[in-house]
Amino acid sequence: MFEAILLTIVTAATPLVIAAVGELVTERAGVLNLGVEGMMIMGAVCAFAGSYLTGVPLLGVLCGILGGAAFSLLFGFLTLTLVANQVATGLALTLLGLGLSGQIGESFVGIPGVKLQPIVFPILSDIPFIGRLLFAQDITFYLSIALIIGVHWFLFKSRTGLKMRAIGDNHGSAHALGIHVVRTRYLAVMFGGACAGLAGAQLSLVYTPQWVENMAAGRGWIALALVVFASWRPWRVLAGGYIFGAVGILQLHAQALGIGVPSQFLSMLPYAVTIVVLIVISHNRRTTLINTPACLGKPFVPDR
């Protein structure tokens, strides 16, 4: 049973981790995109459509990624080219995404979806206890881990990543040094959108293989909280995603076991933990400042 619980936690945590690591890159480039929920739901509907219409769930995953990225391009155009307010545009993106996905998905409602099949590594998946957990999952799980490793390497070990962080910290100076601020930010926004789309694909192809309007049900917002929770560090996103997932699942098990903890309290726990972590990390002002992108959410207009 312990293994079954862990498997459920993995499924619950994966979309949070994927969407959050995408948003992390966007924010590291200095752009605050509050439209994660909208991009996620667009990814979910595109993935379901792709999988249903082609009959190949893997193509659905691709459609989800492309759908999320394309949708984020709208945000990029408004905030980077037209320099609109990022907070307002992000919120609008969420609302638009919820409505638009409902419209697109109207004919898919009630159709049982096809579940994305796991990719089983022979031999490795036979390792007792961790085998099934780590080596017999669907592609979105492997991608989530790869994304964490990849983003960590990109941000802290690569030259391009360093430039991108520089843009996020001081876009004026970065521009003066000849770094393409707007172009880099476009790419970062689209990466965030692609990740949110992939997270959405996980929802409509793995988590609950079906399309229901509004099926992200606030997971995009949790992903946003997770980025702050992780203080913009990829590995902490992974840890945080699993903590959030675990709390949600364990509280259900506690209830089924008849442990007398009020379910409202347990439902609140992930958010309470976020607040506690925020207090703890803000205790040391200097480390907080090091990780927070200083230009987060600020508009950039090249002066020459």
Partner 1 sequence: MKKLIIALAATAATLGSFTVGAEAQEKTKVCFIYVGTKTDGGWTQAHDIGRQELQKALGDKIETPYLESVPEGPDAERAIERMARSGCALVYTTSFGFMDATVKVAAKFPKVKFEHATGFKAAENLATYNSRFYEGRYIQGQIAAKMSKKGVAGYIASFPIPEVVMGINAFELGAKSVNPEFKLKVVWANTWFDPGKEADAAKALIDQGVDVMTQHTDTTAPMQVAAERGIMAFGQASDMIAAGPKTQLTAIVDTWGAYYIKRTKALLDGTWKSEQIWDGLKDGILTMAPYTNMPDDVKAMAEETEAKIKSGELHPFTGPINKQDGSPWLKAGEKAEDGVLLGMNFYVQGVDDKLPQ
Q: How far is the CB of 203 from partner 1 (least distance, A)?
A: 7
**Closest separation in Å from C-beta 196 to partner 1:** 15
107 DSSP assignment: G
Closest separation in Å from C-beta 230 to partner 1: 21
Q: Which of 73, 212, 273, 278 binds partner 1 (CB under 8 A)?
A: 212
Pull the structure tokens for residue 105: 């998905």
Region near partner 1 per CB under 8 A, out of 83-91, 187-195, 252-260, 296-304: 252-260
Binding of partner 1 by 273 (CB under 8 A): no
Residue 245 CA to residue 9 CA, distance in Å, equals: 5
Give whichever of 71 and 211 is closer to partner 1, judged by the CB atom: 211
Helices (H), 55-138: 57-76, 86-105, 130-135
Q: How far is the CB of 2 from partner 1 (least distance, A)?
A: 9
What's the min distance (Å) between Cβ of 14 and partner 1? 11
Q: Are 28 and 223 in contact (CB under 8 A)?
A: no
Burial class (CB in 10 A: 0-12, 13-18, 19+), 195: buried
Give the count of alpha carbons within 13 A of 192, CB side only: 34
**In this chain, which stretch among 108-116, 164-172, 175-183, 293-301 interacts with partner 1, using CB under 8 A?**
108-116
Q: Which stretch binds partner 1 (CB under 8 A): 30-38, 111-119, 137-145, 272-280?
A: 111-119
5 lies in the binding site for partner 1 (CB under 8 A): yes
Residue 259 phi, psi dihedral angles, 5° rounding: -75, 125
CB 156 within 8 A of CB 15: no
Q: What is the DSSP string of 122-176?
A: TTGGGSTTHHHHHHEE-HHHHHHHHHHHHHHHHHHHSHHHHHHHHHHH-HHHHHH
Q: Which range binds partner 1 by CB under 8 A, 234-242, 253-261, 275-283, 291-299? A: 253-261
Binding mask 76-105 for partner 1 (x = CB under 8 A): ----------------------x---x---
Q: What is the DSSP letter of 33?
A: -
14's CB contacts (< 8 A; 6+ apart) are 140, 141, 144, 199, 202, 206, 241
Shorter beta-carbon distance to partner 1: residue 187 or 250: 250
| Contact (CB, 8 A) for 232 and 291 | yes
User: What is the C-alpha separation between 93 and 220, in angstroms, rounded?
Assistant: 12
* Distance in Å, CB of 214 to partner 1, minimum: 6
Residue 132 engages partner 1 in binding (rule: CB under 8 A): no
Selected from 56, 81, 262, 302, the binder of partner 1 by CB under 8 A is: 262
Among 219, 238, 241, 244, binds partner 1 (CB under 8 A): 219
Residue 142 corresponds to which amino acid?
Answer: Y
- The position carrying tokens 């959108």 is 193
Instruction: Report residue 186 as tokens.
Output: 């476009």
Contacts (CB under 8 A) with partner 1, residues 185-204: 203
* 263 binds partner 1, rule: CB under 8 A: yes
Q: Among 120, 217, 289, 290, which residue sits at the site for partner 1 (rule: CB under 8 A)?
A: 217
| Site for partner 1, rule CB under 8 A | 1, 4-5, 8, 12, 98, 102, 106, 109-112, 115, 203, 207-210, 212-215, 217-219, 248-249, 252-253, 255-258, 260, 262-264, 267
